[in-house]
Amino acid sequence: MGSKSDLPVMQDAADVLKELGIEYEITVVSAHRTPDRMYSYAKSAADRGLKVIIAGAGGAAHLPGMVASLTHLPVIGVPVKSSNSIDGWDSILSILQMPNGIPVATVALNAAKNAGILAAQIISIADETIVQNLINYKETLKKKVEESADEMKAEQEVKRFTL
Amino acid sequence: MGSKSDLPVMQDAADVLKELGIEYEITVVSAHRTPDRMYSYAKSAADRGLKVIIAGAGGAAHLPGMVASLTHLPVIGVPVKSSNSIDGWDSILSILQMPNGIPVATVALNAAKNAGILAAQIISIADETIVQNLINYKETLKKKVEESADEMKAEQEVKRFTL
Amino acid sequence: MGSKSDLPVMQDAADVLKELGIEYEITVVSAHRTPDRMYSYAKSAADRGLKVIIAGAGGAAHLPGMVASLTHLPVIGVPVKSSNSIDGWDSILSILQMPNGIPVATVALNAAKNAGILAAQIISIADETIVQNLINYKETLKKKVEESADEMKAEQEVKRFTL
Amino acid sequence: MGSKSDLPVMQDAADVLKELGIEYEITVVSAHRTPDRMYSYAKSAADRGLKVIIAGAGGAAHLPGMVASLTHLPVIGVPVKSSNSIDGWDSILSILQMPNGIPVATVALNAAKNAGILAAQIISIADETIVQNLINYKETLKKKVEESADEMKAEQEVKRFTL
Amino acid sequence: MGSKSDLPVMQDAADVLKELGIEYEITVVSAHRTPDRMYSYAKSAADRGLKVIIAGAGGAAHLPGMVASLTHLPVIGVPVKSSNSIDGWDSILSILQMPNGIPVATVALNAAKNAGILAAQIISIADETIVQNLINYKETLKKKVEESADEMKAEQEVKRFTL
Amino acid sequence: MGSKSDLPVMQDAADVLKELGIEYEITVVSAHRTPDRMYSYAKSAADRGLKVIIAGAGGAAHLPGMVASLTHLPVIGVPVKSSNSIDGWDSILSILQMPNGIPVATVALNAAKNAGILAAQIISIADETIVQNLINYKETLKKKVEESADEMKAEQEVKRFTL
Amino acid sequence: MGSKSDLPVMQDAADVLKELGIEYEITVVSAHRTPDRMYSYAKSAADRGLKVIIAGAGGAAHLPGMVASLTHLPVIGVPVKSSNSIDGWDSILSILQMPNGIPVATVALNAAKNAGILAAQIISIADETIVQNLINYKETLKKKVEESADEMKAEQEVKRFTL
Amino acid sequence: MGSKSDLPVMQDAADVLKELGIEYEITVVSAHRTPDRMYSYAKSAADRGLKVIIAGAGGAAHLPGMVASLTHLPVIGVPVKSSNSIDGWDSILSILQMPNGIPVATVALNAAKNAGILAAQIISIADETIVQNLINYKETLKKKVEESADEMKAEQEVKRFTL
C-alpha cells in the first residue's frame, strides 16, 4: 500500500487471503516518496517468489501502474478513497486507465476484499486446494443471502399486507 | 463479448493472446438477451478447461459481473464505449463497482489488448514459457519508445533552438 | 432487493404499496451471490401471479436488469446509494443504461416510494380501485403543500417586510 | 415529445409499439413553449383512453415530470441527447430525479425503443396477446445473438489460434 | 420555493431583499404536487405587481423553468441541494439547461442570498434608491475583506517568518 | 465576450435583442488578456447608460464574475463550450458558482439567445413596449410547436398504426 | 487567499515555506469583493520583490487566474473545497482551465502544502540553499515511509499468516 | 512526453519556449514502457543543468508525478486528451491530485503552450531578459484582443441596431 493510512482499507485483503489459504506479505511502498524502494520491490518480486501483487493507493494513485510497469506479474489495483481524494474518482481513473501494454486489474473503490479474492482466483489456476476454498467461499456468500431471505420472510409473516 | 458490435474492440484481446502464445476461444454471449446461454457458458467454463474469462460489454454492462458470479475462475472485464454509452462511464461503473465477494478484474475503457495481456500474466503464474513471452513483449514496448526518442532526437538536431 | 442492508430504503416501497391497496411480497435476491435463486425467482414470477417486480440494488447493480432479462413482466429499478457506492452514480448507470430490448423502469436514487407508486400506476391500468387510490394520494400531496403555504403565510404576517 | 427535432429518436418507440401490437398516437407537446397544451393534453389523457404516456425531451427536460404531475397514468421518460445537451446528463437527471410522490419510469439515454417495450409490458398486464408478443420478441432477440455466435464460430475456424 | 424543507436555504433571499429595501412575498408552490397552483401563481404574477420571481427547488427541479414558461417576468432559479439530490448536480442542470426561448437566471447551488441580490439589481434598473443600496452593500463586502486582511496582518506580526 | 472566437455563439444574443427591440453594443473584453480594459469597461458601464451586461466566455471563464464584481448592474453569464473546454463543465462552473455577494445570472451552455431574452425581461420591468414584445415572442414560440404538432398529425394519418 | 475562511487550508503553505527557509507574507485579497485591492496587489507584487504568488480560493475561484493576468510572476493556484463548493470541481476547473497565454500552476484540491513546496522549488532554481532544503525534505518523506514499513513488518511478525 | 503521439500537443510548449528565448530539449520518456529510462532521465536532470521539466501524458498519466518524485526540480504537468482518454478527466486527475510532499504544477487540458509560458515565468525569477520577454508577450496578447475589439466595432457600425 502507498501509505500506512491505507491500512484500514487494505487489511481486508490480508484477512480474506488468510481465509482462502493464501500466504501473503503486507508492507508500505510509496511510488512518490520512496520511488527507489518501489523499483527494487517491484523488480525483485517475481524472483522472491511472489505470484500476484495487490497495490492500493489514493488520490493520484501511481503505485499500481508503476509496479505493473516494473514486473511481469499480474498486478491488482485497489482505488482507495483517501481524505484528499475527490470522491475517489482520482484514484479510480489513475489506476484503471493504464495505456496499452501495461494492464492493472482494477477492483471497486476501497474493495480490498475483492482484491484478495481475485488474487486467490489467479493463484487457484495452478492450485486445486484454492479452487475448493473459492467454491466454499461462494457457497457461504449464497447461504448468507438465503438466511437473510428466510429472516425477512419470517418478519414478513407479521408485516405482509393482505387485502 | 456481449454483442457482435463489440468485436472491433475485443479483437485486440484475441490478437495479443495469439502474440503471447495463449490459446483462446471467442464468442458472443449476451447477459440480457441470452441469460440462459450465459449461465451455461459461465458454469461450464472451468470444466471445459478455460483458465481465465475475458468479458467485454458496453452500457449497463452486466456480462462480466454475472459471469463472475457463476464461476470461480478469474474474470477480466473490458468496458466498451458503445454507441448508446454515456462517454463510457456507464460501462466502467457497471463492471468495476462489484460488491464484496465477486470481483471483476477491470481494465481501461476499450482496453481489450490489456485484457489479453492480463490474461497472459495470470496464466503465466503456472507456465514459464508465457513468462518469457511477457518479458519479451515488455522489451518490445521499451524498444519502440526508445526508437521514438531517437527519431525525435534526430529531428531535433534541426529544430532545436539554441540561444 | 439485492441485500438486506437495502431494507431501510426499500421498506418505503412496501409502505406505499400497502397505503395504495396493492398486495406485495418482499425478499432478498442477490444477482451476484445467489444467481440461481435470481433465475428461478425471475422466471417463475409471472406464473406465480406477480404483475410487476421492483428491484433495488446498489453499486454495480445488476439485479434489476438481470431480472428484466428473465421475465416479460415490467421491472422497476431502484438505485440504492449503498456504502460502497460512488455517490450513487454506479447504481444509477448500472440500472438505467440497459441495452435495447430489455428496459428497466428506473426511478430516482433511493426513491423506493416512487417505485411503489409507479407499480400502483401500472397495476391501476386494469383496476379502477387503484386508480381512485392514486387520485386520492395525489390529492393528499397537494393538500400538504397547501398547508405548508398557509403556515408560511401565517408566519409571514409577522416576518413580512413592508417599506 | 418536446420538440419535432426529437422525432429521429422517438420514432423508435412508435416502431416497436407497432411491432408489439400496441395502438399509439404521437405528437409534439412542449412543457416550456406550450404549457397550456401540455396541461390539457396530460389532464385529458386518461379520459381519452390512453393507458401509458411516453414523454421524451432533451436538456432541462421537464415534460415527463410535469406530465406525471398532471395525470395518474404511468409516465415513461426518454432522456434525449439533444444538440444543446451536456452529454445527456442534464436530460437524464431532469427526468430521473423526481421527488417522492410523482415517479417517472426513466429509460436509458435515447432509448425510445425501450420506452415502447416498457409501455407494452405495462399494457400486457391486462392483455394476454401482448404477453405473447413480448415473449416472441424476447425469443427474436435471443435468436439474433445465437446467430451472431454461430457466425463468429464459423469465422473463428479460420482465425482460431492453436499452439 | 418547491417545498417547505427548502426554507432554511431560501430564507437568505428574503433576508437580503429586506436588507436591500425590496418588498417581497414568500410561499410554497410545488411544480409536481400542486401544478394548478403553480399555473395560477405564475400566470397572475405580473398582474399582481411582482417584478421578479425567485424560484428555488431541489432534485429534478422543474419549478423555476415551468414558472418561466408561464410568465414574461424574469425568473431567478436557485438550485437547492436537497436530501434526495445527487450532490446538487440534478438540481443545477434541471434549472440551468433551459431550451432556447425560456431562460432562467440561475445562481450557484444554495445561493439564495445571491438570488436576492440579483433580484435587487434587476429592480434597481428602474429605482435609484436600490442602486444606492447595492453600492453600499458592495462597500460593506469590501470592508469586511479589508478587516480580515488587517486582522491577519496583526496576527502575522507574531507569526511572520523572517530568515 | 472574452474572445472573438465566441462570436458565433454570442451573435444569437445580439439577434434576439434586436428582434425584441433592445438597443445593444457588442465587443471583445478579455478578463485575462486585457484586465485593464475589463476594469474600465465594467466600472464605466452604468455611467455610460448600460442597463444589463451579457458576458460570454469559455474554459476558466472569469469574465462574467469579474465584471459583476466591478459594477452594480445585473450581469448575465453565458458559458461557452470553447475548443479548449472540458465538455463545457469548466465554463459552467466558473460562471455559476459565484460566492455570496456577487451573483451572475447564468444561462445554459452556449445559450446566448436566452441571455438576450433574459436581458429583455430585465429591461421590460421598466418598459411596457418590451413587455408586449416578450408576450408576442412567447406567442411565436407556441405557434411553432403547434405547427409541428399539426404537421406530425398530418404525417401520422398515413403512419398511424391501427390494430 | 480569497477569504479568511480559507486560512485553515492555506496555513499549510505558510508552514512548509517556513520549514523550507522561504520568507513569505500572507493576506486576504478577494477577486470579487475587493477587485481594486487585487489589482494593486498583483500589479505591485514584482516591484515589491515577491518571486512567486500562491493564490487559494474556493467555488468559482477567479483569484489565481486574475492575479496571473496582472503580473508576469509565476502564480500557483490552490483549489479550496469551501462550504459552497460542488465537491471541489468548481474550484479546480476555475483555476486549472486557464486560456492560452495566462497559466496558473495548479496543485491538488486543498493541497496548500504542495503549493508551498512548489514555490520553494521555483525559488530554488536561483538559490542553492533551498535546493539542499528540498533534498533534505524529500529524504524526510522517504524515512517516514520506511519507518511505517518497519512498524508494519514488526506487527506482521505476529499477524503474518503461514500455511 | 509519454508517447510520440503527444507531439502535436506538446510542440506548442517548444514553440513558445523558443519565442520567449528559453533553450530546451524535447524527448519521449514513458513511465510505464521505459521506467528505467524515466528514472535515469529524472534523476540526472538537475545535474545536466535543466531548470524546469515539462511532462505531458494522457490517460492514467503517471509521468509528471513520477518525474517529480525523482527530482527536486519544479515539474509542470500537461494533461493530454489522448485517444484512449475519458474526456481528459483521467489525465487531469492523475496529474493534479498528487499527495502531499510531491507537487506537480498542472496546467489546463492540452495546454502545452501555457506549460511553456509557466516554465519561462519560473526561469525568469533569475533572468531579467526573460522577464522582459514575458512582459512583451503579455503586451502582444493584449494588442490582439484590442484589434479584435476594433474589428468588431467596425463591423458593428453596419450591424449595430438603433431603435
Give G117 to chain F, closest Cα distance, Å: 25
Query: Across residues A32-41, what is the average pLDDT?
Result: 97
* pLDDT digits 0-9 by tens, C37-80: 999 999 999 999 999 999 999 999 999 999 999 999 999 999 99
Q: Hey, of H27, H38, H130, which one would you mutate to test binding to chain B, going by the most B CBs within 10 A of its CB? A: H27
**CB proximity under 8 Å: B 74-133 to D:** 84, 86-87
Binned at pLDDT 50, 70 and 90, residue B87 comes out as: confident
* pLDDT digits 0-9 by tens, D58-71: 999 999 999 999 99
Q: Hey, of A5, A29, A32, A66, which one would you mutate to test binding to chain H, going by the most H CBs within 10 A of its CB? A: A32
Report yes or no: H78 and H56 within 8 Å, Cβ to Cβ: yes
Does B158 score more than 50 pLDDT? no
| Cα separation, G43 vs G35, whole angstroms | 12
Binned at pLDDT 50, 70 and 90, residue A157 comes out as: low
Query: Across residues A17-43, what is the average pLDDT?
Result: 97
Task: Name which residue leads in pLDDT, D83 or G12.
Answer: G12
Q: Hey, of E90, E143, E148, E158, which one would you mutate to test binding to chain G, going by the most G CBs within 10 A of its CB? A: E148
pTM, rounded to two decimals: 0.96
| Beta carbon pairs, B and H, within 8 Å | 56
Q: Which of F32, F29, F38 is nearest to F2 (CA)?
A: F29
Is A153 in CB contact (< 8 Å) with chain C? Answer: yes
Contacts of G153 in chain A (CB under 8 A): 27
| Overall size of chain A counted in residues | 163
| Beta carbon pairs, D and E, within 8 Å | 106
pLDDT at C157: 57
* pLDDT digits 0-9 by tens, H133-150: 999 999 999 999 999 999
CB contact under 8 A, F153 and D3: no
| Cα separation, G34 vs G28, whole angstroms | 10
Give B137 to chain C, closest Cα distance, Å: 34
Share of chain A above pLDDT 70, in %: 95
CA H137 to chain centre: 16
Binned at pLDDT 50, 70 and 90, residue G162 comes out as: very low
Q: What is the ipTM of this complex?
A: 0.95
* pLDDT digits 0-9 by tens, E13-65: 999 999 999 999 999 999 999 999 999 999 999 999 999 999 999 999 999 99
Name the closest residue on chain D to residue E42, using Cα atoms: D35
Name the closest residue on chain A to residue H42, using Cα atoms: A35
Compare CB distances from D146 to B26, B34, B86 and report the shortest one's residue.
B34
Report yes or no: F102 and F65 within 8 Å, Cβ to Cβ: yes
Chains E and C touch (3+ CB pairs under 8 A): yes
Binned at pLDDT 50, 70 and 90, residue D157 comes out as: low
CB contact under 8 A, B23 and D162: yes
Binned at pLDDT 50, 70 and 90, residue C95 comes out as: very high
Residue D89 to residues D84, D95, E91: CA-CA distances in angstroms?
11, 10, 12
Query: Across residues G96-123, what is the average pLDDT?
Result: 98
Does C159 score more than 70 pLDDT? no
Binned at pLDDT 50, 70 and 90, residue D80 comes out as: very high
Query: Across residues E114-139, what is the average pLDDT?
Result: 98
pLDDT at B161: 45
Give G163 to chain H, closest Cα distance, Å: 35
Does C163 score more than 60 pLDDT? no
pLDDT at C142: 97
Does E127 score more than 90 pLDDT? yes
Chains G and E touch (3+ CB pairs under 8 A): yes
CB contact under 8 A, A131 and B98: no
* pLDDT digits 0-9 by tens, D34-53: 999 999 999 999 999 999 99
Phi-psi region of E49 (alpha: psi -120 to 50; beta: other; left: phi over 0): left
CB contact under 8 A, G149 and A29: yes
The H-assigned helical ranges of C45-127 are 63-69, 89-96, 112-124
CB contact under 8 A, C33 and A145: yes
Binned at pLDDT 50, 70 and 90, residue A85 comes out as: confident
Name the closest residue on chain H to residue G109, using Cα atoms: H97
At a CB cut-off of 8 Å and minimum separation 6, what does C71 contact? C42, C43, C45, C46, C53
pLDDT at G157: 57
Contacts of F85 in chain G (CB under 8 A): 97
Compare CB distances from H156 to F26, F29, F60 and report the shortest one's residue.
F26
Q: Hey, of A92, A113, A161, which one would you mutate to test binding to chain C, going by the most C CBs within 10 A of its CB? A: A161
pLDDT at G155: 81
Contacts of G66 in chain F (CB under 8 A): 31-32, 35, 62, 66
In terms of DSSP bridges, do strands F53-58 and G53-58 run parallel, antiparallel, or are they unpaired? Answer: unpaired
G18 exposure class (CB count in 10 Å sphere: 0-12, 13-18, 19+): middle
Coil vs helix vs strand at G76 = strand
pLDDT at H75: 98
Contacts of E101 in chain D (CB under 8 A): 32-33
Query: Across residues E100-106, what is the average pLDDT?
Result: 98
Handedness of CA C85, H88, E88, F66 (dihedral sign): positive
Name the closest residue on chain E to residue D42, using Cα atoms: E35
> Mind listing the pLDDT tens digit of every residue in chain H (163 residues)?
999 999 999 999 999 999 999 999 999 999 999 999 999 999 999 999 999 999 999 999 999 999 999 999 999 999 999 887 898 999 999 999 999 999 999 999 999 999 999 999 999 999 999 999 999 999 999 999 999 999 988 887 545 444 4
pLDDT at H163: 41
Is E136 in CB contact (< 8 Å) with chain G? Answer: no
| Overall size of chain F counted in residues | 163
Contacts of C4 in chain A (CB under 8 A): 148, 151-152
pLDDT at G73: 98
Contacts of G104 in chain H (CB under 8 A): 107
**CB proximity under 8 Å: A 14-73 to C:** none
Does F158 score more than 50 pLDDT? no
Does A38 score more than 80 pLDDT? yes
| Cα separation, F138 vs E68, whole angstroms | 11
Chains H and E touch (3+ CB pairs under 8 A): no
Contacts of F100 in chain E (CB under 8 A): 111, 113-114
